[in-house]
């Protein structure tokens, strides 16, 4: 089908990112907005806009009926969900399909499969992709204990329908496991509507590396190399870079090939990310994100691709614009998530007015944001306010460029994570790229002792 108009079912910088991609492709864009976002940049820059409802996400951006009504009333051909909100909800994608609209993403059945951690692991096994030793779904506490004793402690209890670090609990012994299984089931039920959990062996200090894939409706699947995402706090990413520093070329090749096999096995369509834990020369599949990622700019920097434009073309039935041998990794890129949070107050969210703002610029610097001086960060949504990314021919130069750009970045009126990033770039493990998924929390703990 030909896509001439798209409803952007999101807000903030990602909504603005999609609106801009639509403009360059000659596609009419329709924004949606809540009461809190009536004057937002994505609303101002879109060709049209439809009011969804009240400020609370449940009354606006998470209201499937309201979003579909907006799309139908605006007469669009497709819906782009961005990330977060409804982007990985199979019921929403199915509703879009049933309404006769194109969903800018994979089929609802694929979202459902890859959103179920146990089913996703089964797909990985079928594609000959290694998975972390673990169990099938467990419901009874003693069944979990028996499974853990077979896997070997320590283990992680994970929500089958989880994401974003929710519903995950570590356990180092059977007694501890008996407690955390109940806690994980309670959180999983509250967050995802399902209390199904499973167990995985807890690897000690691995790296979190993910591979960007693109797949069209003509059977072509390619990878766009990998991103390093190990600097995390409470399993929420803070800084990402591409390519992953220190990754052995043979491991990189195997990772990327594995991601392509998995995407092909599940019948993937669109842009997606296959996430792995890397332990030396071994790697293990952990999950697939069936949407565009927050950190997609670093991949765009090193490949020269416009991933959002590729999403839109794929949704319209066009073949991929590039073949695998045409996707070349050049230089190094780093992204810094700028959140309206106070690192000195245990990352307390800090909504409020952005009274002053100076954005960095110059060669190899990109800022993805929808906020300018005088805009208000509302208390109803995620605290991400901007993404600063840099590119340079080498990683050392990218680090230097990041330091320079962060030094130029000024926000007045509310605390942000900019200062945290400035300090991080002087940490030896960050400088030499040896950090792993335990590094940031250990560093933060030492900084606050």
pLDDT digit string (tens) for the chain, length 449 residues:
789 999 999 999 999 999 999 999 999 999 999 999 999 999 999 999 999 999 999 999 999 999 999 999 999 999 999 999 999 999 999 999 999 999 999 999 999 999 998 899 999 999 999 998 888 888 889 999 999 999 999 999 998 876 666 778 999 999 999 999 999 888 888 878 888 889 989 888 999 999 999 999 999 999 999 999 999 998 899 999 999 999 999 999 999 999 999 999 999 999 999 999 999 999 999 999 999 999 999 999 999 999 999 999 999 999 999 999 999 999 999 999 999 999 999 999 999 999 999 999 999 999 999 999 999 999 999 999 999 999 999 999 999 999 999 999 999 999 999 999 999 999 999 999 999 999 999 999 886 44
Task: Please check whether residue 310 is in contact with residue 271, taking contact to mean a CB–CB distance below 8 angstroms.
Answer: yes
Same structural domain, 196 and 246: no
Q: What total of structural domains would you count in the chain?
A: 3
Element (H, E) at 120: helix 117-126
Examine the domain organization and report whether 137 and 38 are in the same domain.
Answer: no
Domain extent at residue 12? 5-104
Task: Return the pLDDT at 263.
Answer: 98
Q: What is the pTM of this model?
A: 0.90
With respect to residue 123, please indicate whether it lies within any of the assigned structural domains.
no
Catalytic pick among 291, 313, 395, 401: 291
CA-CA distances (angstroms) from residue 332 to 280, 297, 303, 369, 414?
21, 12, 10, 21, 31
Q: Is residue 306 part of a domain?
A: yes
In a domain, 162, yes or no: yes
Question: By the 8 A CB rule, do 177 and 171 touch?
Answer: yes
Q: Is residue 127 part of a domain?
A: no
Q: Does 375 fall in a domain?
A: yes
93 and 214 share one domain: no
pLDDT tens digits, 284-334:
999 999 999 999 999 999 999 999 999 999 999 999 999 999 999 999 999
Q: How many other C-beta atoms lie within 10 A of the C-beta of residue 1?
A: 11
Q: Which CATH number does the domain housing residue 52 bear?
A: 3.40.50.20
In the listed set 201, 222, 239, which residue is the last one of a domain according to the structure? 201
Query: How many beta carbons lie within 10 A of that of residue 132, not counting itself?
Result: 23
Boundary-marking domain end, from 144, 173, 201? 201
Residues β-bridged to residue 85: none
> Can 291 be counted among the known catalytic residues?
yes
- In whole angstroms, how far apart are CA 29 and each of 18, 214, 345, 369, 408? 8, 23, 39, 18, 33
């Amino acid at each position: 089908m030909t896509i001439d108009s798209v409803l952007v079912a999101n807000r903030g910088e990602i909504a603005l990112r999609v609106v801009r991609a639509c403009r360059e492709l000659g596609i009419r864009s329709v924004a949606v907005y809540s009461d809190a976002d009536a004057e937002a940049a994505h609303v101002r820059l879109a060709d049209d806009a439809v009011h969804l409802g009240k400020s609370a996400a449940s009354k606006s951006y998470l209201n499937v009926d309201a979003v579909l009504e907006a799309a139908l009333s605006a007469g669009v051909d497709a819906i782009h969900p961005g990330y977060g909100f409804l982007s990985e909800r199979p019921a929403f994608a199915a509703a879009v399909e049933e309404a006769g609209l194109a969903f800018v993403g994979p089929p609802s059945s694929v979202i459902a499969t890859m959103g179920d951690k146990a089913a996703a692991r089964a797909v990985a096994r079928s594609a000959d992709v290694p998975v972390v030793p673990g169990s099938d779904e467990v419901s009874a506490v003693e069944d979990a204990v028996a499974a853990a004793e077979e896997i070997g402690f320590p283990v992680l209890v994970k929500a089958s329908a989880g994401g974003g670090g929710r519903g995950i609990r570590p356990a180092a012994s059977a007694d501890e496991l008996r407690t955390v299984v109940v806690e994980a089931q309670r959180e999983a039920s509250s967050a995802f509507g399902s209390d199904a959990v499973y167990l995985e062996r807890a690897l000690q200090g691995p790296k979190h590396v993910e591979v960007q894939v693109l797949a069209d409706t003509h059977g072509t699947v390619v990878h766009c190399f990998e991103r390093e995402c190990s600097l995390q706090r409470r399993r929420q990413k803070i800084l990402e870079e591409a390519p992953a520093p220190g990754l052995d070329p043979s491991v990189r090749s195997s990772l990327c090939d594995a991601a392509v096999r998995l995407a092909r096995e599940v019948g993937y369509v669109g842009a997606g990310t296959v996430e792995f834990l890397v332990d030396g020369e071994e790697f293990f599949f952990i999950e697939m994100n069936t949407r565009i990622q927050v950190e997609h700019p670093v991949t765009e920097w090193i490949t020269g691709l416009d991933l959002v434009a590729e999403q839109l073309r794929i949704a319209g039935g066009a073949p991929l614009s590039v073949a695998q041998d045409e996707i070349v990794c050049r230089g190094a890129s780093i992204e810094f998530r700028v959140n309206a949070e106070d690192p000195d107050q245990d990352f307390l969210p800090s909504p409020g007015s952005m009274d002053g703002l100076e954005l960095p610029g110059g060669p190899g610097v990109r800022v993805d944001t929808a906020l300018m001086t005088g805009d208000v960060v509302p208390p109803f949504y995620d605290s991400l306010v901007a993404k600063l990314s840099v590119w340079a021919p080498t990683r050392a130069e990218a680090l230097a460029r990041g330091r320079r750009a962060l030094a130029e970045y000024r926000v007045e009126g509310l605390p942000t994570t900019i200062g945290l990033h400035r300090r991080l770039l002087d940490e030896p493990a960050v400088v030499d790229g040896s950090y792993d998924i335990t590094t940031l929390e250990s560093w933060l703990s030492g900084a606050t002792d």
